[in-house]
Structure 1
Amino acid sequence: MPDVRLVHRPDRGSPATRELRTLARDVDVARSRLAQARGLMFRRSIPDDYALVFPFEEVDTRWLHMLFVPFAIDAVWIVDGEVTRVKRLAPLVGLARGEADTVVELPAGAADGVEVGDEIGYRE
């Protein structure tokens, strides 16, 4: 299996301080409709170094819910590699939406420091 990792580049500061940092090294890409519909539902937890990436063919409003997800997550909405929204979702009851062609779900706290305008991408 190829090494997939999720990387973040801040949009602020000088070029020297805008270095890439790895957000996750254990990355799953939900490509099928079934994988995207299921997301993180029914899992008891996820590793600290984990990300679930949802790539879509076009930009649209993307809703996330936490039904059957018993732990908090950080969600990141992205358009053309640029962060459009970051939100922590509460276990079981969290609900949020944002414009995106890609959505990323991470363990709560993993997206600390990620802000609107930053770049995020995954490398395969």
Structure 2
Amino acid sequence: MRVVHETDGGGRPLATKVDVADSLVSQGLGLMFRRSIPDDYALVFPFDEAAPRTLHMVFVPFDIDAIWLEAGDVRAVERLGGWTGYGRAVADTVIELPAGAADAVSVGDRVRIDGLTG
């Protein structure tokens, strides 16, 4: 599984080590209590429909980039600071990445998750 930022030249991988938070527990925990994540890592939160989705950084001691998607279209991109970061946007999928991984991603771009089923 991988997360790909679609570009005019095809696509640029944002992450090749991808976990899916598809249960209530895994979605509630997110990245809490981890000390770090690898540079090529993503945590993907798939939902059945688009709705306001909130992320918090309580018990996450490092900065991350967050991408909110609706049908593959980027609706918001934010850098969230460790411990105190907070973000909210409408999405059917949310992706958490290491800080800096989404620097080239902008609202209106397309991001796909190769290998995600469901």
Higher strand share: 2
Which of 49, 56, 59 is residue 58 of structure 1 equivalent to? 49
Give the distance between the partners of 2:14 and 2:85, measured in 1 at CA: 22
Which of 74, 78, 81 is residue 87 of structure 1 equivalent to? 78
Residue segments in structure 1 that go unaligned for 5+ positions in a row:
11-16
How far did residue 18 of structure 1 move?
3.9
Larger Rg: 1
Residue segments in structure 2 that go unaligned for 5+ positions in a row:
none
- What is the aligned-residue RMSD (CA, Å)? 0.7
Which of 5, 8, 12 is residue 5 of structure 2 equivalent to? 8
TM-score when scaled to structure 1?
0.91
Runs of at least 4 residues off by over 6 Å: none
Alignment of 1:1-124 (within 5 A): 4-10=1-7, 17-124=8-115
- Percentage of identical aligned residues: 57
Give the distance between the partners of 2:52 and 2:109, measured in 1 at CA: 19
TM-score when scaled to structure 2?
0.95
How far did residue 19 of structure 1 move?
1.9
How many residues are treated as equivalent by the alignment? Answer: 115
How far did residue 9 of structure 1 move?
1.0
